[in-house]
Amino acid sequence: MTGSHAVFGQEAKDAAELVVDIINNELGGIKSLCGAKIQLVVQDSGETPDDARLAAERLISTEHPVIVIGAYISRNTAAVAEVTEREKVILVMDGLVDDLTKQGWQYVFRAAPKASAHGATAAKFVIEMAQQKGLTINSAVILNEDSIFGTYVGDGAKMELLRNGIHVAAHITYPYDITDFSSIINQIKSINPDIIISVPYFNDGVLFAKAVQQAGLHPMFIAGAGGCGYTDPDSIQAAGDAVLYYTNTYSYNFARPTQWNQKIVNEFKQRYGKIPTEAGGIIFYSMFTIYAALEKAGEMFPNDPLNPDNLKQAFLALDLTDDNSIAAQLYPSGHIKFGPDGDNLYAEATVAQVQEINGTLKPVIVWPDAEPGVQPIFPRPDWQGAD
């Protein structure tokens, strides 16, 4: 809720408050638990893993939650998981780093797609677009901040590019608190790649897009990956037309035409004045998955539904689809079912692009299924190789 990533925390908090309000007041609470209401307690996870660890300890010791959700920044999520695992508290993660579900932890679940899947999605998108346009991608530069999250997303993109025979001319990393991209821009200019795949958070994404614009760098395409930066409303507001035509991958499809997804998006827009994107979207379906798990726990274990091992079994018993759950209607693939490691077996990411619609910059879903009336803009109109 504070620091350089607070923009994501605020959207997640807003999304959680909306969902809890719907569960408690429209759906009648947890029916299998006699209509029990969900009480939401918000704890600032802070800037660092140490902050997040202390925050989790404070939250658990004072509020005694049966389920914790968070903490978006993967390195902080790992610190929270160490605490929740020790205390046998279910953690529903919105951090995306692959290894978060490879630690042998017994009480973690993640509906969202893994970080490497985001990188692969960005690469698949540009490859498919180039094929459709009859263009050849000969070289690429991958750019990511140097956290474990950036590394996994960047590596996912690199593997997909190499698998398709595309030369990765450079894989550049930088500190997440970078303040000057000029040397990196010069390096990219000297390479002159066809495409750039970038894995930003918020501040670095705005800084990079503005630096690209100022330097007059015009590759075939610049694709974001990892759900942070470029195409979310806050990034568009901060960067302006510097992010026009940028894409980014999302763990959430705000244009998915299901009844509940449209309802949630409209209510979020009415409350907060913007469309929800990555941070809010993951919370939407994660919170409704929690709702489904609590209902299942009450059905399976009526005498002790909130026991952590019983809750774990309830999560593992879920098989959520568009037809039987709200959570699935909010999920890109329409299907949530957890494997033994706690990851969703049907994880999927989407691609959003910043386009100018009726004179206003806005994000629109362009892949794998473009929203009605929208087409991907590829290559960039200012590409130096364009006719």
| pLDDT tens per residue across span 179-205 | 999 999 999 999 999 999 999 989 999
Q: Are residues 306 and 355 in the same domain?
A: no
Total count of domains within the chain:
2
Q: What tokens were used for 330? A: 């909010």
Residue 31: its pLDDT value, please?
Answer: 98
Q: At what angle do helices 74-87 and 49-63 cross, to 10 degrees?
A: 40
Q: Are residues 363 and 216 in the same domain?
A: yes
Q: Is residue 385 part of a domain?
A: no
Residue 350: its pLDDT value, please?
Answer: 97
Low-confidence ranges of the chain (pLDDT < 70): 386-387
Instruction: Find the CATH number of the domain harbouring 168.
Output: 3.40.50.2300
- Give the other-Cβ count within 10 Å of 303's Cβ: 6
Residue 285: its pLDDT value, please?
Answer: 98
Nearest to 362 by CA among 226, 234, 203: 234
Q: Is residue 154 part of a domain?
A: yes
Measured distance CA(84)–CA(66) in Å, rounded: 10
Residue 386: its pLDDT value, please?
Answer: 57
Angle among Cα 359, 364, 365 to the nearest 5 degrees reads: 160
Residue 4: its pLDDT value, please?
Answer: 82
What SS3 class is residue 357? strand
Q: Is residue 382 part of a domain?
A: no
Q: Are residues 108 and 131 in the same domain?
A: no
Q: Are residues 228 and 362 in the same domain?
A: yes
Cis peptide, bond prior to residue 71, ω within 30 of zero: yes
Domain span at residue 230 reads: 116-253+349-367
Q: Are residues 244 and 280 in the same domain?
A: no
